[in-house]
Structure 1
């Protein structure tokens, strides 16, 4: 029994002797962080690289969760598949609209607003609102310009709605589709290029068009100088969103290809805004044949004369 007690006492003594050793270990681990501070001094480049990867879209965790977890539950031909793309609240839509109207230099629109939950709700309704804003404002502008002209008979031109819808929705969907395919193609040639998803690119283009809704309403002002100033302001704000979003994705590519890509993006965006202003507002004379009702007196007189003969 004594021997057994001795053994127990020795085990207890060993466990008691471990306490100071563990204290020494704790002291060593406390001193270890003091060895690490020099390392962060050499990490600004690494931290900047991590931020660049976020700007380029290398952190695909949120995207994979959205596209993998939710889309596996339902096939793409079902309504539930597309319902996930409209699962967004008012605060998120408002923040994305605010970010597109007031872009901050150095801030990536996708990383800050879109990547957590890309949606189609905002782009769809922004494009629909812009279509009616341009069509209605174009008709009102044509009416106010000829107000007081007795030879002018106003007829609402509903074809402007279809023309505006074709131009805006084609731009908001076909251009992102082409850009998405181009980034995928360049990603296969240059490993540092990371493509955004098609849904993310559609979100960027859709929300970037919001600034043109109040601009189209103000285009009713019958002053060409004011209209062109408004379109330049809107073009600068929305174009800066596109540049700050897509330049980090292509800047590691060949210099000429990267610059040509950004120039193409800006040219297409400029063509849309200037084309809408020139066609719907600054060229009302193109609509004269459909808005002025010709007097039928000449035809009637000719028929009377022929009947007399």
Structure 2
């Protein structure tokens, strides 16, 4: 059917009551079936956020790369990819420090270091040290029939000691390796992973030091030192041995020395607290003295 009108006047509902005359041809129905935007499958569906990804739970790799690379180290968003790690990965990285047969950085980390484990593990160690030493001291005081007062200054000491060793010292070690020894194959997160995950063995050793057996405590501390320092030397020696500056091997002496001082402080401040069973003297209870007949002179 033909259109009998040549133009249509459209009135605006605003206060000025303006009108506009448009050709009638523009009001005819048009066919958009051939336009690519008319296909519903070609348009993104806002109700399905997984469109464009294999899984809705998969992280946006492009966003993570942009945050890690372009924001810089002084941006909080730059560190978010380092905390995007699964629990099973953290547990495996902790366990692999117990038998360092492979290169930890190349094989275990595989170019994907994280900062969740190196922060979570020292934090756990801090509370385990305070809990184990307090429980051991309370147990020994109870066996000696004495009262026990919790020393919360040891908690502050553990916070400063462990965080400085696990976070600040690796940064200084990386700077020495990079600018003094000329090592370019390691990054700060990788060195922090070595020191952070390397403290794994001290967690069970702290718990095993609760019973007041001095010899057992000494053996456990010696075992923890041997495993942890062996892990550090196993992963740092090949890099320092291949460094342009041959004097970079001297850094291994610093690694062993600082680790020995760290272990000694832990041992004398936490692991050896509580005395031993041999010092316990069990006094007879007052009920045992009732009804006893004194021997004749």
TM-score, normalised by the number of residues in structure 1: 0.63
Shift of 1:255: 8.9
The whole-number CA distance in structure 2 between the counterparts of 1:76 and 1:260 is 29
The whole-number CA distance in structure 2 between the counterparts of 1:271 and 1:101 is 21
Give the aligned partner of residue 133 of structure 1: 128
After TM superposition, the structure 1 = structure 2 runs for residues 4-23 of structure 1, keeping only pairs within 5 Å, are none
After TM superposition, the structure 1 = structure 2 runs for residues 26-37 of structure 1, keeping only pairs within 5 Å, are none
The whole-number CA distance in structure 2 between the counterparts of 1:100 and 1:182 is 24
**Contact residue 142 and residue 281 of structure 1 kept, 8 A:** no
Shift of 1:246: 0.5
* Aligned partner (choices 131, 138, 145) of residue 140 of structure 2: 145
Q: Structure 2 vs 1, CA of residues 284 and 221 (structure 1 numbering), >3 Å: closer, same or farther? A: closer
Give the aligned partner of residue 175 of structure 1: 169
The whole-number CA distance in structure 1 between the counterparts of 2:93 and 2:143 is 43
**Contact residue 215 and residue 230 of structure 1 kept, 8 A:** yes
- CA offsets per residue over residues 224-253 of structure 1, 9 Å max, x none? 111111111111111111011110111134
Q: Structure 2 vs 1, CA of residues 184 and 67 (structure 1 numbering), >3 Å: closer, same or farther? A: farther
Give the aligned partner of residue 36 of structure 1: none
Give the aligned partner of residue 124 of structure 1: 119
Give the number of the structure whose alpha-carbon radius of gyration is greater.
2
**Contact residue 100 and residue 231 of structure 2 kept, 8 A:** yes
SS in 1 for 2:180: helix
Give the aligned partner of residue 178 of structure 2: 184
**Contact residue 187 and residue 194 of structure 1 kept, 8 A:** no
Shift of 1:66: 11
After TM superposition, the structure 1 = structure 2 runs for residues 102-251 of structure 1, keeping only pairs within 5 Å, are 102-104=99-101, 107-150=102-145, 152-188=146-182, 193-251=183-241
- CA offsets per residue over residues 176-197 of structure 1, 9 Å max, x none? 1111111111354xxxx43411
Shift of 1:265: 0.4
Give the aligned partner of residue 85 of structure 1: 82
Is it true that 1:98 corresponds to 2:95 in the alignment?
yes
The whole-number CA distance in structure 1 between the counterparts of 2:93 and 2:273 is 34
Would you tell me which structure has more helix in proportion to its own residues?
A: 1
**Contact residue 180 and residue 201 of structure 1 kept, 8 A:** yes
How many residues get paired? 214
Is it true that 1:72 corresponds to 2:72 in the alignment?
no
Give the aligned partner of residue 48 of structure 1: none
The whole-number CA distance in structure 2 between the counterparts of 1:273 and 1:126 is 16
The whole-number CA distance in structure 2 between the counterparts of 1:80 and 1:253 is 33
The one of the two structures with greater contact order (alpha-carbon pairs below 8 A, sep at least 6) is 1
RMSD: 2.5
Query: For structure 1, which runs of at least 5 residues remain unmatched after alignment?
Result: 1-64, 286-309
The whole-number CA distance in structure 2 between the counterparts of 1:141 and 1:172 is 25
The 10-residue stretch of structure 1 (211-220 or 138-147) with the greater mean CA deviation from structure 2:
138-147
The whole-number CA distance in structure 2 between the counterparts of 1:70 and 1:255 is 34
TM-score, normalised by the number of residues in structure 2: 0.66
The whole-number CA distance in structure 2 between the counterparts of 1:216 and 1:66 is 41
Query: For structure 2, which runs of at least 5 residues remain unmatched after alignment?
Result: 1-61, 276-297
